[in-house]
């Protein structure tokens, strides 16, 4: 990997012209699926994901139900057309792992005890993947959960930090993820504009202790910006609905 002469940082900027702490362009649309209780379409750079939340609802198969709290199921899945080389449909080991850690992040904030013997299903489909799809999916899932009216302690915002050419960069894209030295996805539980705790943390590669601390701070700043966008997207949905009603009445 190191013997290839790919320069990922050129003249102090990344290959797509971004600064080290710039996020990729993000777009969010809430309530895109009529049948789901809550949903969100999200674009993060070239990633395009859709999250759907169903629940609380009855758990099928029944024996998986927990008598004292709701069971949360999270399914991360990449569509066969989401990557250049067709991905065979169905869960693979990577999807299963991502589903597990994402579910654990969500379980930290959802008030499961309020709905014993029921289930909350979260499905996130990656329609187009470009590094950081798991972070995009968690952001979308968090918004979809809010849209569904599920009681939660706060929200989850997720972003990754990578180390490329010995420099830490926020929200890596495909080339930086593939040829970088480390990739560290983060997710934070955010409440009332404050980061309360880390909900997800994974790492692939090597960084020094100081670099890790630096990466954490960088991720926190990035996550706060994403949190603002999530709030904005949700509030926009309801404000536009109200404005439409004003026009109808007048």
Q: How far is the CB of 2 from another protein (least distance, A)?
A: 43
Among positions 78, 124, 155, 223, the unique one binding another protein when judged by CB under 8 A:
155
Indicate the burial class of 99 (C-beta count within 10 angstroms; 0-12, 13-18, 19 or more): buried
φ/ψ region of 140 (left if φ > 0, alpha if ψ in -120 to 50, else beta) reads alpha
Token pair of 227, please? 């949190």
Using CB under 8 A as the binding rule, whether residue 116 contacts another protein is answered as yes
Give the separation between CA 74 and CA 110, rounded to whole angstroms.
13
Using CB under 8 A as the binding rule, whether residue 242 contacts another protein is answered as yes
Among positions 106, 122, 146, 169, the unique one binding another protein when judged by CB under 8 A:
146
Using CB under 8 A as the binding rule, whether residue 241 contacts another protein is answered as yes
* Of 79-87, 90-98, 123-131, 242-250: span binding another protein (CB under 8 A): 242-250
Comparing CA positions, the residue from 176, 181, 146, 140 lying closest to residue 158 is: 140
Pairing of strands 119-128, 71-78: parallel
Among positions 46, 73, 118, 212, the unique one binding another protein when judged by CB under 8 A:
118
Phi, psi of 60 (to 5 degrees): -125, 120
From residue 92 to residue 111, the character string flagging contacts with another protein as x (rule: CB under 8 A) and all else as - is -----------------x-x
Residues 47-66 that bind another protein (CB under 8 A): 55-58
Q: At what angle do helices 133-147 and 93-107 cross, to 10 degrees?
A: 40
Q: Is the CB of 6 or the CB of 114 nearer to another protein?
A: 114
Q: Is the CB of 87 or the CB of 231 nearer to another protein?
A: 231
């Amino acid at each position: 990997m190191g013997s290839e002469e790919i320069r990922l940082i050129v003249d102090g900027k990344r290959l797509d012209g971004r600064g080290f702490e710039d996020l990729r362009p993000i777009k969010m649309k809430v309530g895109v699926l009529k049948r789901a209780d809550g949903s969100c379409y999200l674009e993060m750079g070239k990633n395009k994901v859709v999250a759907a939340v169903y629940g609380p609802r009855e758990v099928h198969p029944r024996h998986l139900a927990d008598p004292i709290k709701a069971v949360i199921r999270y399914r991360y899945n990449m569509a066969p057309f989401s990557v250049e080389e067709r991905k065979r449909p169905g869960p693979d080991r990577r999807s299963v792992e991502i589903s597990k850690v994402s579910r654990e992040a969500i379980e930290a904030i959802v008030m499961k005890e309020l709905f014993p013997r029921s289930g909350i299903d979260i499905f996130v489909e990656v329609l187009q993947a470009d590094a950081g799809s798991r972070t995009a999916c968690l952001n979308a899932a968090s918004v979809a959960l809010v849209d569904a009216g599920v009681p939660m302690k706060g929200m989850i915002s997720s972003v990754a930090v990578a180390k490329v050419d010995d420099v830490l960069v926020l929200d890596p894209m495909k080339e930086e993820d593939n040829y970088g030295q480390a990739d560290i996805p983060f997710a934070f539980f955010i409440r009332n504009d404050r980061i309360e705790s880390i909900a997800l943390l994974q790492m692939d590669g090597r960084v020094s202790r100081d670099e890790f601390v630096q990466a954490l701070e960088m991720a926190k700043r990035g996550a706060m910006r994403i949190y603002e966008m999530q709030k904005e997207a949700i509030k926009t949905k309801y404000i536009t609905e109200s404005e439409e009603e004003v026009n109808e009445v007048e």
